[in-house]
Protein backbone atom coordinates (compact mmCIF):
# COMPACT_ATOMS: atom_id res chain seq x y z
CA UNK A 1 0.00 0.00 0.00
CA UNK A 2 1.12 3.54 -0.68
CA UNK A 3 1.35 5.14 2.75
CA UNK A 4 2.16 8.57 1.39
CA UNK A 5 -1.32 8.69 -0.14
CA UNK A 6 -2.97 7.78 3.13
CA UNK A 7 -1.28 10.64 4.87
CA UNK A 8 -2.92 14.02 4.19
CA UNK A 9 -6.61 13.08 4.36
CA UNK A 10 -6.18 10.78 7.32
CA UNK A 11 -4.13 13.40 9.17
CA UNK A 12 -6.68 16.16 8.51
CA UNK A 13 -9.56 13.99 9.66
CA UNK A 14 -7.74 12.73 12.76
CA UNK A 15 -6.56 16.21 13.69
CA UNK A 16 -10.11 17.54 13.48
CA UNK A 17 -11.49 14.71 15.62
CA UNK A 18 -8.62 15.01 18.10
CA UNK A 19 -9.45 18.57 19.12
CA UNK A 20 -10.88 18.86 22.58
CA UNK A 21 -14.73 18.94 22.65
CA UNK A 22 -15.15 18.34 18.91
CA UNK A 23 -16.28 14.74 19.26
CA UNK A 24 -18.67 15.68 22.00
CA UNK A 25 -20.23 18.57 20.03
CA UNK A 26 -20.73 16.33 16.99
CA UNK A 27 -22.24 13.63 19.18
CA UNK A 28 -24.74 16.09 20.64
CA UNK A 29 -25.66 17.31 17.13
CA UNK A 30 -26.15 13.73 15.92
CA UNK A 31 -29.33 13.98 17.99
CA UNK A 32 -30.68 16.63 15.59
CA UNK A 33 -30.45 20.43 15.10
CA UNK A 34 -29.72 22.36 18.27
CA UNK A 35 -29.46 25.94 19.50
CA UNK A 36 -26.29 27.20 21.13
CA UNK A 37 -27.77 27.04 24.62
CA UNK A 38 -29.01 23.46 24.07
CA UNK A 39 -25.49 22.30 23.20
CA UNK A 40 -24.12 24.27 26.13
CA UNK A 41 -26.58 22.59 28.49
CA UNK A 42 -25.35 19.16 27.47
CA UNK A 43 -21.67 20.08 27.84
CA UNK A 44 -21.74 22.46 30.81
CA UNK A 45 -17.97 22.22 31.52
CA UNK A 46 -17.13 23.84 28.17
CA UNK A 47 -16.82 27.66 28.13
CA UNK A 48 -18.95 29.80 25.79
CA UNK A 49 -15.81 31.00 24.03
CA UNK A 50 -14.57 27.46 23.43
CA UNK A 51 -17.96 26.36 22.08
CA UNK A 52 -18.09 29.41 19.79
CA UNK A 53 -14.57 28.70 18.47
CA UNK A 54 -15.27 25.02 17.85
CA UNK A 55 -18.57 25.76 16.10
CA UNK A 56 -16.82 28.22 13.76
CA UNK A 57 -14.14 25.64 12.94
CA UNK A 58 -16.74 22.94 12.31
CA UNK A 59 -18.76 25.30 10.11
CA UNK A 60 -15.60 26.22 8.15
CA UNK A 61 -14.82 22.50 7.71
CA UNK A 62 -18.30 21.85 6.32
CA UNK A 63 -19.26 19.62 9.26
CA UNK A 64 -22.20 21.77 10.35
CA UNK A 65 -24.36 24.62 9.15
CA UNK A 66 -25.55 27.63 11.10
CA UNK A 67 -29.01 28.85 10.20
CA UNK A 68 -30.45 32.15 11.37
CA UNK A 69 -34.25 32.29 11.61
CA UNK A 70 -35.45 35.92 11.49
CA UNK A 71 -37.88 35.66 14.36
CA UNK A 72 -38.23 37.80 17.43
CA UNK A 73 -35.98 37.04 19.21
CA UNK A 74 -33.73 35.69 16.46
CA UNK A 75 -33.31 31.92 16.54
CA UNK A 76 -30.02 30.36 15.47
CA UNK A 77 -29.74 26.63 14.89
CA UNK A 78 -26.75 24.40 14.29
CA UNK A 79 -27.16 21.25 12.25
CA UNK A 80 -24.79 18.59 10.95
CA UNK A 81 -24.27 18.41 7.19
CA UNK A 82 -24.13 15.05 5.42
CA UNK A 83 -20.36 15.17 5.88
CA UNK A 84 -20.86 15.68 9.61
CA UNK A 85 -23.51 12.98 9.97
CA UNK A 86 -21.13 10.47 8.39
CA UNK A 87 -18.80 10.95 11.37
CA UNK A 88 -21.24 8.89 13.43
CA UNK A 89 -19.45 5.61 12.74
CA UNK A 90 -15.99 7.13 13.21
CA UNK A 91 -16.85 8.64 16.58
CA UNK A 92 -18.45 5.41 17.78
CA UNK A 93 -15.39 3.51 16.70
CA UNK A 94 -13.02 5.82 18.64
CA UNK A 95 -15.37 5.77 21.62
CA UNK A 96 -15.58 1.97 21.69
CA UNK A 97 -11.83 1.58 21.51
CA UNK A 98 -11.36 4.22 24.22
CA UNK A 99 -13.82 2.49 26.54
CA UNK A 100 -12.16 -0.88 26.10
CA UNK A 101 -8.54 0.14 26.17
CA UNK A 102 -7.95 3.52 27.79
CA UNK B 1 -26.93 9.65 27.36
CA UNK B 2 -24.42 10.98 29.85
CA UNK B 3 -22.00 13.00 27.74
CA UNK B 4 -19.69 13.79 30.65
CA UNK B 5 -18.84 10.09 30.86
CA UNK B 6 -18.01 9.90 27.19
CA UNK B 7 -15.54 12.69 27.54
CA UNK B 8 -12.21 11.60 29.08
CA UNK B 9 -11.67 8.29 27.31
CA UNK B 10 -12.88 9.53 23.96
CA UNK B 11 -10.72 12.64 24.24
CA UNK B 12 -7.60 10.63 25.18
CA UNK B 13 -8.12 8.21 22.32
CA UNK B 14 -8.86 10.93 19.76
CA UNK B 15 -5.92 13.05 20.92
CA UNK B 16 -3.56 10.10 20.53
CA UNK B 17 -4.85 9.32 17.04
CA UNK B 18 -4.80 12.99 16.05
CA UNK B 19 -1.05 13.40 16.51
CA UNK B 20 0.83 13.73 13.27
CA UNK B 21 2.28 10.42 11.98
CA UNK B 22 0.71 8.28 14.72
CA UNK B 23 -1.92 6.74 12.46
CA UNK B 24 0.65 6.05 9.81
CA UNK B 25 3.09 4.36 12.22
CA UNK B 26 0.32 2.14 13.60
CA UNK B 27 -0.78 1.29 10.09
CA UNK B 28 2.75 0.21 9.15
CA UNK B 29 2.99 -1.91 12.32
CA UNK B 30 -0.36 -3.57 11.58
CA UNK B 31 1.67 -5.38 8.91
CA UNK B 32 3.70 -7.10 11.66
CA UNK B 33 6.77 -6.40 13.84
CA UNK B 34 9.24 -3.99 12.29
CA UNK B 35 12.66 -2.53 12.95
CA UNK B 36 13.16 1.21 13.17
CA UNK B 37 14.69 1.42 9.70
CA UNK B 38 11.82 -0.59 8.16
CA UNK B 39 9.27 1.89 9.53
CA UNK B 40 11.45 4.76 8.40
CA UNK B 41 11.64 3.32 4.87
CA UNK B 42 7.85 3.29 4.62
CA UNK B 43 7.48 6.86 5.92
CA UNK B 44 10.56 8.59 4.47
CA UNK B 45 9.24 12.14 5.00
CA UNK B 46 9.27 11.72 8.78
CA UNK B 47 12.48 12.69 10.62
CA UNK B 48 14.35 10.19 12.83
CA UNK B 49 13.70 12.38 15.86
CA UNK B 50 9.96 12.53 15.18
CA UNK B 51 9.77 8.77 14.72
CA UNK B 52 11.74 8.21 17.94
CA UNK B 53 9.44 10.56 19.88
CA UNK B 54 6.26 8.97 18.53
CA UNK B 55 7.53 5.46 19.25
CA UNK B 56 8.27 6.42 22.86
CA UNK B 57 4.79 7.91 23.27
CA UNK B 58 3.16 4.84 21.75
CA UNK B 59 5.22 2.55 23.98
CA UNK B 60 4.24 4.61 27.05
CA UNK B 61 0.57 4.39 26.01
CA UNK B 62 0.79 0.60 25.75
CA UNK B 63 0.15 0.64 22.00
CA UNK B 64 3.41 -1.03 21.07
CA UNK B 65 6.30 -2.91 22.64
CA UNK B 66 9.99 -2.53 21.97
CA UNK B 67 12.01 -5.73 22.13
CA UNK B 68 15.80 -5.82 22.15
CA UNK B 69 17.35 -9.02 20.77
CA UNK B 70 20.90 -9.42 22.10
CA UNK B 71 22.47 -10.34 18.80
CA UNK B 72 25.50 -8.85 17.08
CA UNK B 73 24.62 -6.24 15.99
CA UNK B 74 21.73 -5.74 18.44
CA UNK B 75 18.30 -6.09 16.81
CA UNK B 76 15.41 -3.97 18.09
CA UNK B 77 11.86 -4.70 17.00
CA UNK B 78 8.65 -2.78 17.48
CA UNK B 79 5.38 -4.64 17.63
CA UNK B 80 1.77 -3.64 18.33
CA UNK B 81 0.20 -4.89 21.56
CA UNK B 82 -3.37 -6.19 21.58
CA UNK B 83 -4.46 -2.65 22.48
CA UNK B 84 -2.61 -1.37 19.43
CA UNK B 85 -3.91 -4.04 17.05
CA UNK B 86 -7.47 -3.14 18.04
CA UNK B 87 -6.90 0.30 16.53
CA UNK B 88 -7.17 -1.31 13.10
CA UNK B 89 -10.90 -0.69 12.80
CA UNK B 90 -10.66 2.84 14.21
CA UNK B 91 -7.94 3.88 11.79
CA UNK B 92 -9.79 2.40 8.82
CA UNK B 93 -12.92 4.23 9.88
CA UNK B 94 -11.09 7.60 10.07
CA UNK B 95 -9.32 6.85 6.80
CA UNK B 96 -12.56 5.98 4.98
CA UNK B 97 -14.30 9.10 6.17
CA UNK B 98 -11.27 11.21 5.24
CA UNK B 99 -11.15 9.76 1.74
CA UNK B 100 -14.84 10.37 1.14
CA UNK B 101 -15.21 13.78 2.72
CA UNK B 102 -11.92 15.66 3.05
Q: Which fold has domain B3-101?
A: Arc Repressor Mutant, subunit A (1.10.10)
Instruction: Tell me the chain B residues in contact with residue A99 when contact means C-beta distances shorter than 8 Å.
Output: 9
ipTM of the complex: 0.88
Ranges in chain B, pLDDT < 50: none
**Chain A residues contacting B via beta carbons under 8 Å:** 3-4, 6-20, 22-24, 27-28, 42-43, 45, 62, 83, 86-87, 89-91, 93-95, 97-102
Half-sphere exposure of A18 (CA within 13 A, CB side): 20
| Domain positions in chain A | 3-101
Name which of B11, B20, B97 is nearest A90 (Cβ-Cβ). B97
Name which of A10, A83, A98 is nearest B10 (Cβ-Cβ). A98
Contact B3 A43 (CB under 8 A): yes
Under 8 Å between Cβ of B23 and B91: yes
Per-residue pLDDT tens listing for chain A (102 residues): 555 556 788 889 999 998 989 999 999 999 999 999 999 998 888 899 999 999 999 999 999 999 999 999 999 999 999 999 999 999 999 999 999 998
Q: Give the integer Cα–Cα distance in Å for A20 and A40.
A: 15
Average pLDDT, rounded, for chain B: 91
Q: What per-residue confidence (pLDDT) applies to A5?
A: 55
Amino acid sequence: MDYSKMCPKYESAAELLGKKWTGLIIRVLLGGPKRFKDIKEQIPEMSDKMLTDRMKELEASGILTRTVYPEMPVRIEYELTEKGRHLDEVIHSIQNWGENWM
